[in-house]
Amino acid sequence: MNWAGIGVLLERLRVGVRDESQFYGSNPLEKDHTEHLFSPVSLPCLPVPRTMANSERTFIAIKPDGVQRGLVGEIIKRFEQKGFRLVGLKFIQASEDLLKEHYIDLKDRPFFSGLVKYMHSGPVVAMVWEGLNVVKTGRVMLGETNPADSKPGTIRGDFCIQVGRNIIHGSDSVESAEKEISLWFQPEELVDYKSCAQNWIYE
């Protein structure tokens, strides 16, 4: 192990010096022993085979209160850091017709009209995320529908208080995700691309 060479490398990284002569001086042997430490390394970006499992998709929407409170970046960061891949995103003022269709299963509930009004009160960030078990894991990341029942560390557990302002929506099943994605996005609005990060997320 060339400890001297490693020491030179660490010191160079610490001070951010680009001029190698500051470390090597006039001693060519010292440069020979450390030069390989600075050689560029090319890491291949090989595509990870897409399977039915790791290509599962979910629909996530940041509601008007989440947008107004400046939580868009924080929420996207959490899904990215988890390892999911963003394949669709739009910033939209949803129409009442779109919202009524989205929440059609709740049309007979007494809070339906208020829910549609609330969702129509400001812009929404609509997203499609892809990854292994993304529907189930996404719901866990969101927390319970009622923030009071959500654990710390979840989005709702950390950022909201009342169920009527719970900042985010996530598909509750693969079937619901497919329906919601097709409602909010056209096929050409979803982007399929190669991500080198996938090599470090999936075996």
Q: Which residues contact 1 (CB under 8 A, 6 or more apart)?
A: none
135 to 6, 22, 37, 178: CA distances (angstroms): 45, 54, 44, 11
Q: Which residues are catalytic?
A: 169
Q: Where are the domain boundaries for CATH 3.30.70.141 in the chain? A: 57-192
Interval 117-123 mean pLDDT:
98
pLDDT band at 13 (very low <50, low <70, confident <90, very high): very low
On whether 100 is known to bind a ligand per the annotation, the reply is: no
- Rounded to whole angstroms, the Cα distance separating 171 from 72 reads 18
Give the per-residue pLDDT at 23: 45
Q: Where do we find the tokens 């022993």?
A: 33
Range 57-192 has CATH code 3.30.70.141: yes
Average pLDDT over residues 147-159: 98
Q: pLDDT exceeding 70 applies to what percent of the chain? A: 74
Residue corresponding to tokens 């999911």: 84
Q: Is the pLDDT of residue 161 over 50?
A: yes
Contact 194, 47 (CB under 8 A): yes
Tens digit of each residue's pLDDT (9 = 90 or more) over 56-96:
999 999 999 999 999 999 999 999 999 999 999 999 999 99
Using CA atoms of 112, 113, 114, 119 in order, give the dihedral in degrees to the nearest 10.
Answer: 90
- Is 156 labelled a binding residue? yes
DSSP at 152 = B
Q: What is the mean pLDDT of the chain?
A: 86
Alpha carbon distance 167, 189 (integer Å): 24
pLDDT at residue 105 above 70?
A: yes
Mean pLDDT, to the nearest integer, of 85-113?
A: 97
For 133-148, what is the mean pLDDT?
98
Cα(132)–Cα(201) distance, integer angstroms: 10
Q: Tell me the C-alpha distance between 135 and 128, whole Å.
A: 11
- Quick check: 178 pLDDT over 90? yes
Helix (H) or strand (E) holding 134: helix 134-142
Q: What strands, in cross-sheet order, belong to the sheet with 57-62?
A: 85-92, 124-130, 57-62, 168-170
* Ranges assigned E (strand) in the chain: 57-62, 85-92, 124-130, 168-170
* pLDDT exceeds cutoff 90 at 30: no
Q: Is 166 marked as binding a ligand?
A: yes
Residue position matching structure tokens 């470390």: 23
Of 9-18, 75-84, 87-96, 146-155, the one with minimum mean pLDDT is: 9-18
> Is 111 labelled as part of a ligand binding site?
yes
What tokens were used for 115?
A: 């829910």
